[in-house]
Amino acid sequence: MRAVRWVVAAVAVVASATMASSHEATSKGVTVAHPWARATPGGATVGAAFMEIRTDKGVTDRLISVASPVAGRAEVHTHIMDGNVMKMRRVEALDLKDGTSHVLKPMGDHIMLFDLKQPLKEGDLIKIALTFEKAGVVEVEGTVEPVGAMGPHGMDHQPMLDDTPSKGDTPDGKSGHEHMGHH
Ligand SMILES: [Cu+2]
């Protein structure tokens, strides 16, 4: 496994030497960095992607939509605490304050990928396009990390504390999508 990782890393280095790396991209003071997604188990058709969004000093913006060629549809989600139950909720936009780093991560804000055209496999690269109100479209290429990974590049292997089915579902039945086990 480790050897495979190194081969993937070596290929990525070679690729980035010949073209601008899309692992990090900047537009008008908004930088999207370290994008990654979780591998999806079995026949799951829903996945989640994460990244860091940084704004330069004096730059404010809003993330207003997301898309990926691997998914039929993508949404920005956040987690909220309702009593002591954590729930996912779609957000219309993410407000980005100036000079800050906003990290999308498991159990926090994240990008939900619906209607996956194929399972996300560890080691794959997936394109994600983020559309900002002012900065426009920023496209990055994220790595697919193992099922249940808590961070990119295997750097963070904390155990999942919230892996029980249905935690992410809203009880009002409005959500209508399968979120179980992805967060
Ligand atoms: Cu979600």
Count CB atoms within 10 A of the CB of residue 113: 28
- pLDDT, one tens digit per residue, over 113-135 is 999 999 999 999 999 999 999 99
13, part of any domain: no
* pLDDT at residue 163 greater than cutoff 50: no
68, part of any domain: yes
Ligand 1 centroid to Cα of residue 21, in Å, is 27
Helix, strand, coil percent values for the chain (each to nearest 5):
10, 45, 45
Count CB atoms within 10 A of the CB of residue 6: 9
Domains identified in the chain, total number: 1
Ligand 1 centroid to Cα of residue 59, in Å, is 27
89, part of any domain: yes
Ligand 1 centroid to Cα of residue 110, in Å, is 6
pTM greater than 0.85: no
Ligand 1 centroid to Cα of residue 164, in Å, is 14
3, part of any domain: no
The CATH number given to whatever domain includes residue 118 is: 2.60.40.1890
Ligand 1 centroid to Cα of residue 149, in Å, is 15
Q: Residue 115: enclosing H or E segment and its boundaries?
A: strand 110-116
101, part of any domain: yes
Ligand 1 centroid to Cα of residue 11, in Å, is 31
Distances (CA, A) of 114 to 33, 72, 171: 22, 6, 20
- pLDDT, one tens digit per residue, over 38-79 is 999 988 999 999 999 999 999 999 999 999 999 999 999 998
167, part of any domain: no
Ligand 1 centroid to Cα of residue 80, in Å, is 11
d(CA 149, CA 106) in angstroms, rounded, equals 9
Domain interval for residue 27: 22-152
102, part of any domain: yes
131, part of any domain: yes
